[in-house]
């Protein structure tokens, strides 16, 4: 007898990162975002796809600087899909959503794996930090956000030079880093960060 269909999981309104690897080791590592809510509020004709409004990532104002809007330029973006090569072959694919926290999150997990030789599960699970960029004169210039679980002695030492704030452990703020690893024997492994709704699947 047919079974009733499950209720579909509501789609996230956030940036999405996904990684696909086939049996031959070919990889797609992609981060996509509409940027602000509803993107540009324009649908590409015949597709049903909303266009993003990433032009908002430009800096606007009278002062010219590297991220000022100009013809032919792309705006600064924090999206950082990464494929690590080893001896000319892909070894690790990694990426995450999380707006300004993408580069710091991706870097930390990669560093945990490469510099500290942690397995991907442990590398993803380690508490995160983020250097918060000041966006107004009223905000501290040396702001450092730490995820709960950070080494207490280190956090206390950092207070000497930084304005420290703590974020709850395992919540969406620090993103959701996905990792796919191709081992020398050809085995493929996928890992999903549970800070957001996330899944790893494969054969």
Q: How many CB atoms lie within 10 A of CB 76?
A: 11
- Catalytic residue at 78? no
Report the C-alpha gap between 179 and 185 in whole angstroms.
18
Report the C-alpha gap between 89 and 81 in whole angstroms.
17
Concatenate the DSSP letters of all residues of 82-147 into one string: EEEEETTEEEEEEE---GGGHHHHHHHHHHHHHTS---HHHHHHS--EEEEPP-STTS-SSEEEEE
The pair of three-digit structure tokens given for residue 72, joined into one six-digit string: 């032919």
- Which residue of the set 15, 16, 31, 47 is catalytic? 15
Instruction: Return the closest-CA partner of residue 163 out of 131, 136, 198.
Output: 131
Counted residue by residue, the chain has a size of 203
The pair of three-digit structure tokens given for residue 50, joined into one six-digit string: 């909303």
Positions marked active-site: 15
């Amino acid at each position: 007898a047919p079974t009733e269909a499950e209720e579909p999981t509501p789609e996230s309104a956030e940036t999405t990162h996904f990684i696909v690897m086939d049996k031959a080791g070919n990889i797609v590592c992609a981060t996509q975002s509409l940027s602000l809510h509803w993107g540009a509020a324009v649908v590409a004709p015949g597709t049903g796809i909303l266009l993003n409004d990433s032009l908002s990532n430009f800096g606007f104002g009278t002062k010219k600087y590297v991220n000022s809007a100009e013809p032919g330029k792309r705006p600064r973006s924090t999206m950082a899909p990464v494929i690590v090569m080893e001896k000319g072959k892909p070894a690790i694919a990694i990426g995450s959503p999380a707006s300004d926290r993408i580069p710091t999150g991706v870097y930390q997990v990669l560093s945990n794996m490469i510099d500290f030789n942690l397995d991907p599960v442990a590398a993803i699970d380690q508490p995160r930090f983020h250097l918060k960029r000041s966006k107004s004169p009223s905000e501290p210039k040396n702001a450092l956000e730490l995820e709960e679980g950070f080494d207490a002695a280190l956090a206390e030492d950092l207070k000497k030079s930084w304005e420290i704030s703590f974020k709850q452990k395992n919540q969406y703020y620090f993103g959701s880093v996905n990792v796919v690893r191709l081992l020398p024997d050809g085995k493929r492994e996928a890992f999903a960060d549970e800070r957001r709704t996330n899944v790893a699947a494969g054969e």
